[in-house]
């Protein structure tokens, strides 16, 4: 079969991206400094509006009284169906389903894995075998048909042998001896006879992270992952030796890896502050130099008065890895809201999750735990909605859609409802 364009567009949706990006970046930089005043000035300039920014309760009540009842009924009609569908999605989370929202109106969702995933496996400073397990395996379980794995090569060796073995074991279809920005570019643009990746996943250094950030939109990504983080919540019952070992265990990742302790015990805090440098000094040279710099420049110990204060400061930081070593483990498990992965009790530690215990490993950093979890099977799966209707249901749905479109000023939208109402023999309202 030959594909023939009967009409082809001279532009794409990305044609003006560079210019737009420059404009938006300048505006964001300016607004970060000018804050509320800047927002007000730009609103006055572009929207010609010089009134209150925050909509008052009084204004909301005025609008409730002023809108005609038919408009409110149509909005309610839309709201009821959107809410009903959202409730069905929540009830059937992770499943295909179909539900009748009103007579003759059927809606549902299908879960479809992406076709091609690009998995970046770090291998520069350390050979991250576990990252190969966490990314490739998860993509395979999700049903991804084509998995490309990239890892930085060493001179005359290529990628680390254990990484190659692991990626192959876990189901990678292609393994490339590529690292850094070239790896990200190769997977995104479909180089070396591979299909372009639909999603890029896996941790990396700041150059890998920035390449993913720049390409996001053209390709999906797991998350904006920065330097790894650990936080520990500990009270007087915690073992300072264990706490210190765990902080150092993550600090060895790199010079900019934060390690934070939130505690209600001054005695514990003092012991940890004394012990961490001692433990670092006993490490081999490579992890020693990384951990020294990380603890010096990014380490923090925060003394709190109560468990609630520890929970509050932890949620503000939203650490990538969060350990809880207290007498009130259940309370913290129930209370804490923002983190990448939680390690409850002295018996578990970040390294277990990183290497082999099974929980999600590629996790949000830099506060991203406030809005997302880590890389999990669902990141490789698109949750896609669909709808189908009877002709009879058009009478109600088509009329409401046409009216709402006209409230919005979108006449062409409205006429797509009108034409069906007319064809199926229903009067236009």
Q: Which domains does the chain have, with CATH numbers?
A: 113-222 (3.40.50.1980), 230-370 (3.40.50.1980)
pLDDT at 13 over 70: no
> Is residue 107 within a helix (H) or strand (E), and if so which, with residue range?
strand 105-113
Q: Within a 10 A sphere around the Cβ of 92, how many other Cβ atoms?
A: 14
Q: Within a 10 A sphere around the Cβ of 239, how many other Cβ atoms?
A: 13
Confidence of residue 10 (pLDDT cuts 50, 70, 90): confident
Sign of CA dihedral 219, 220, 221, 223: positive
For β-strands 105-113 and 381-389, DSSP reports them as antiparallel
Query: Tell me: the pLDDT tens digits for 215-225?
Result: 999 999 998 87
Query: Tell me: the pLDDT tens digits for 122-152?
Result: 987 778 898 999 999 999 999 999 999 999 9
* Residue 258: per-residue pLDDT: 95
- Reduce the secondary structure of 294-361 to three states and give it as a string: HHHHHEEEEECCCHHHHHHHHHHHCCCEEEEECCCHHHHHHHCCCCCEEEECCCCCHHHHHHCCCCCC
Q: Is 414:399 a contact under the CB 8 Å cutoff?
A: no
Q: Percent of the chain having pLDDT more than 90? A: 82
Q: At what angle do helices 161-170 and 129-142 cross, to 10 degrees?
A: 20
* Residue 128: per-residue pLDDT: 86
Confidence of residue 6 (pLDDT cuts 50, 70, 90): low
The rounded mean pLDDT for the chain is: 93
Query: Tell me: the pLDDT tens digits for 317-337?
Result: 999 999 999 999 999 999 999
**Catalytic residue positions, numbered:** 320-321
Q: How many residues does the chain have?
A: 429
Please compute the mean of the pLDDT values over residues 362-386 and round it to a whole number. Answer: 94
Number of H helices, E strands in the chain: 15, 13
CA angle, corner 242, sides to 239 and 248, nearest 5?
Answer: 140
Identify the CA nearest to 377 among candidates 166, 163, 140.
140
- pTM of the prediction? 0.85
Q: Is 110:143 a contact under the CB 8 Å cutoff?
A: no
Query: Tell me: the pLDDT tens digits for 79-117?
Result: 899 899 989 989 999 999 999 999 999 999 999 999 999
pLDDT at 4 over 80: no
* Residue 205: per-residue pLDDT: 85
Confidence of residue 153 (pLDDT cuts 50, 70, 90): very high
């Amino acid at each position: 079969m030959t594909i023939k364009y009967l009409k082809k567009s001279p532009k794409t949706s990305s044609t003006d991206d560079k210019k737009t990006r420059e404009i938006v970046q300048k505006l964001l930089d300016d607004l970060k400094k000018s804050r509320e005043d800047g927002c007000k000035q730009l609103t006055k300039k572009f929207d010609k509006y010089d009134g209150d920014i925050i909509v008052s309760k009084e204004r909301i009540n005025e609008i409730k009284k002023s809108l005609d009842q038919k408009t409110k009924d149509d909005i309610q009609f839309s709201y009821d169906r959107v809410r009903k569908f959202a409730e069905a999605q929540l009830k059937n989370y992770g499943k295909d389903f179909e539900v009748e929202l009103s007579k003759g109106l059927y809606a549902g969702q299908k879960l479809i894995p992406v076709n091609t995933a690009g998995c970046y496996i770090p291998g520069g400073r350390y050979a991250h075998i576990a990252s190969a397990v966490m990314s490739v395996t998860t993509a395979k379980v999700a049903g991804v048909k084509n998995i490309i794995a990239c890892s930085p090569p060493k001179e005359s060796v290529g990628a680390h042998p254990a990484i190659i073995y692991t990626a192959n074991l876990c189901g990678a279809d292609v393994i490339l001896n590529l690292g850094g920005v070239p790896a990200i570019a190769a997977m995104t643009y479909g180089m070396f006879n591979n299909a372009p990746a639909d999603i890029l996943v896996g941790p990396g250094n700041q150059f890998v992270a920035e390449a993913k950030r720049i390409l996001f939109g053209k390709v999906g990504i797991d998350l904006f992952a920065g330097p790894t983080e650990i936080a520990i919540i500990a009270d007087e019952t915690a073992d300072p030796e264990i706490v210190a070992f765990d902080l150092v265990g993550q600090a060895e990742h790199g010079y900019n890896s934060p390690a934070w302790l939130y505690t209600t015990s001054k005695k514990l805090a003092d012991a940890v502050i004394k012990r961490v440098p001692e433990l670092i000094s006993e490490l081999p040279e490579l992890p020693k130099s990384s951990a020294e710099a990380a603890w010096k420049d990014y380490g923090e110990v925060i003394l709190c008065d109560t468990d609630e204060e520890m929970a509050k400061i932890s949620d503000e930081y939203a650490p990538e890895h969060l350990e809880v070593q207290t007498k009130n483990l259940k309370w913290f498990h129930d209370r804490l809201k923002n983190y990448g992965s939680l390690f409850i009790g002295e018996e578990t530690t970040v390294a277990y999750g990183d290497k082999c215990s099974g929980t999600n490993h590629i996790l949000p950093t830099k506060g991203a735990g406030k809005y997302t979890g880590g890389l999990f099977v669902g990141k490789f799966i698109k949750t896609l909605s669909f709808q189908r209707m009877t002709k009879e249901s058009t009478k109600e749905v088509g009329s409401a859609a046409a009216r709402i479109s006209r409230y919005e000023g979108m006449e062409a939208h409205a006429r797509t409802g009108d034409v069906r109402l007319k064809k199926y023999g229903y009067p236009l309202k």
